[in-house]
Amino acid sequence: MTVITRFAPSPTGALHLGGARTALFNYLHAKRNNGKFRLRIEDTDRNRNSEESTKVITKSLEWLGLEVDDDIIYQSNNQTEHTLIAESLLSKGLAYKCYHDKEYIQQFSNSKQKFYSEWRDKQNLLPTKKDFCIRIKSPLNRDHIIKDRIQGNVKVSANEIDDYIIIRSDGTPTFLLSSAADDFKMKITDIIRGDDHLTNSFRQKIIFDFLNYKPNFAHISLIHNKDNQKMSKRDNSTSLIDYKMKGYLPEAIINYLARLGWSYGNQETFSFDFLKKNFELDSLGKSPARYDEKKLNFLNNFYIKKMSNKGIFDYIKNNDEQLKNIDFFNQKELIELISIFKDRSSSLNEIASNVLQMTSVKKNFTNEEKLILENFEKYKSLICDKFSNIIEWNELNIENEIKEVIKYYQIDFKSIGQPLRLLITGSLFGPSLSKIIKVLGLQKTIKRINR
């Protein structure tokens, strides 16, 4: 049997890390088993859905490289079939029409008792002119068991599952029916989703059993924040598109999401191809995964360092408005600066920011910085003379001349290095000073020192 998985988001917003991880695990499980990864847009909530959200979700998946097999399924197109399944269950006595009004139902909500419908066994005495909904006839007096590939065998009592609604009084199918019916129609073999859907799975399994449909289940642990609490919308406010715009690489996001709950020995970095060949659902842990921004930045830096300098240059020129028409540096100099800054940068945008900083002179200094510059005044003349006498302008010769000044005045490197860096780059910290001076050139360097 061909393995078929699905990712089934509602188009009510952008795709965030939690949803992206669910999509990734579905994709990897399918590809690991030479199967298919399907996308279903659950767009039956007309009040909350938007076409723009659907576009953002599909673009996010494309950016990550999660290619969808076959056409995208739009749940709203299948509502007639969902209703036919409900009518079939009704005709077989596996569902029933319920005529209770809101006041009756509210009594159970207020008392927190399990809802009981008096119409469950009164189908021969139905009113002729009254609104009704259709409820599933949940089996009584037996436990429900799900054999979960991650959580193990999970059991709930029949008393915990009520006769939930599958068709509303306005004739529209509910999520529980539509989602189950679509999984059945799409022949999904493995339902992989967050463990917050475990209750839904037990409810939908009743429909699956009635349809003689037996998918595998795998419920992924949720992602927790740094305080080990379930991530809220505030914690998870950054969408995949936002990460892209901030200069994160899809390879880093994929690698990071894979490590949120899955492991392969002590290995930390994985190529996409490696994941497709080695990912196993059975290796996912039950415990919640912890979001760690430092780890994400570490991975992004890892993949940035593997990226070509020209590739980073092209990205910056295409995405940073301030640097599109820059004439302070030529292309060769920009690529050299990129090579200098990339090793310490956690995003492509950080590289762009550092490069942009090199095109301007810092004008305002803190009191601490002013003191550092005042102490440097007596060394300016000699350092400028030394730089001016360099015949072959390269890093080694620049370093040697700085050492000559240090030796002449019998001072430590910090006394020269800190103010030089501050005047030239506008910061007290950063990559190799001699490399930056080399790219900046003699005239621009002297001008910044003497300002």
- Going along 157-253, which residue ranges are E strands? 165-167, 190-194, 216-220, 223-224
- The residue type of 127 is P
- Segment 426-442 shows an average pLDDT of 93
Q: What is the pLDDT, as a whole number, of residue 63?
A: 97
- Domain match, 61 and 123 both: no
pLDDT > 70: percent of the chain: 97
pLDDT given for residue 105 in this prediction: 81
pLDDT of residue 235: 59
Q: How does pLDDT run across 30-54, given as a tens digit for each residue? A: 999 999 999 999 998 877 888 999 9
3-state DSSP assignment of residue 150: coil
User: Rounded distance, CA 138 to CA 59, Å?
Assistant: 40
Domain membership of residue 342 (yes or no) is: no
What percentage of the chain carries pLDDT values higher than 90? Answer: 73
Does residue 31 sit in the same domain as residue 93?
Answer: no
Residue 17 domain-assigned? yes
Please check whether residue 231 lies inside any domain of the structure: yes
The dihedral formed by the CA atoms of 244, 248, 250 and 252, expressed in degrees to the nearest 10 = -160
- For the segment 306-332, the average pLDDT, to the nearest whole number, is 83
Reference 384, options 345, 352, 419; nearest CA is 419
pLDDT digits (tens, 9 = 90+) for 58-67: 999 999 999 9
pLDDT band at 177; cut points 50, 70, 90: very high
Do both 56 and 129 map to the same domain? no
Residue where a domain stops, chosen among 127, 158, 178: 178
Distance of CA 360 to the CA centre of its chain: 35
Pair of tokens at residue 3: 């393995």
Establish if 194 belongs to a structural domain. Answer: no
Instruction: Based on the fold, state whether residues 109 and 171 are members of the same structural domain.
Output: yes
Contact 352, 316 (CB under 8 A): yes
CATH number of the domain within which 57 lies? 3.40.50.620
- Residue bearing tokens 């839904």: 200
Residues 172 and 92 in one domain: yes
- Residue 218 phi/psi, 5-degree rounding, is -150, 110
Whether residue 82 is found in the same domain as residue 154: yes
pLDDT attached to residue 26 = 98
**Is 184 among the domain residues?**
no
In a domain, 323, yes or no: no
Residue 22 CB contacts under 8 Å (≥ 6 apart), including other chains: 7, 192, 193, 194, 220
84/66 same-domain check? no
Residue 413: Cβ within 10 Å count:
13
37 and 102, same domain (yes or no): no
Q: What is the mean pLDDT of residues 352-379?
A: 89
Place 103 in a pLDDT band, splitting at 50, 70 and 90.
confident
57 and 103 part of one domain? no
**Residue range 181-200: average pLDDT?**
96
Please tell me whether residues 83 and 54 are part of one structural domain: no
- Whole-number average pLDDT of the chain: 91
Whether the per-residue pLDDT at 233 is higher than 60: the answer is no
pLDDT at 227 over 90: no
406 belongs to a structural domain: yes
* The predicted structure's pLDDT at residue 234: 59
| Cβ-based neighbour number of residue 22 at 10 Å | 20
CATH number at residue 135: 3.90.800.10
Under the banding of pLDDT at 50, 70 and 90, the label for residue 396 is: very high
pLDDT per position as a tens digit, 197-211: 999 999 999 999 999
Amino acid in position 324: K
Q: Domain count of the chain?
A: 3
Residue 295 near residue 164 (C-beta atoms within 8 A): no
Q: Which of 64, 81, 65 shows the shortest CA–CA distance to 73?
A: 81
pLDDT of residue 232: 62
Cα–Cα distance between 398 and 402 in angstroms, integer?
6
Would the pLDDT of 185 be above 80?
yes
- Which run of H or E residues covers position 134? strand 133-136
Statement to judge: residues 243 and 274 lie in one domain: yes
Helix 198-210 vs helix 79-91: angle between axes, to the nearest 10 degrees?
A: 60
Residue 233's domain comprises 1-70+221-306
Question: What are 263-318's pLDDT values in tens digits?
Answer: 888 899 999 999 999 999 989 988 888 899 999 999 999 999 999 999 999 988 88
CA distances 172 to 80, 117, 138, 168, 177, Å, are 9, 20, 20, 5, 10
Residues paired with 193 in a beta bridge:
219
**Domain end marker among 123, 143, 178:** 178
**Are both 374 and 290 inside the same structural domain?**
no
Q: Where among 284, 306, 328 does a domain terminate?
A: 306
Assess whether pLDDT exceeds 80 at residue 126.
no
Contact 337, 329 (CB under 8 A): yes
For residue 391, being part of any structural domain is answered with: yes
pLDDT band at 251 (very low <50, low <70, confident <90, very high): very high
pLDDT given for residue 224 in this prediction: 87
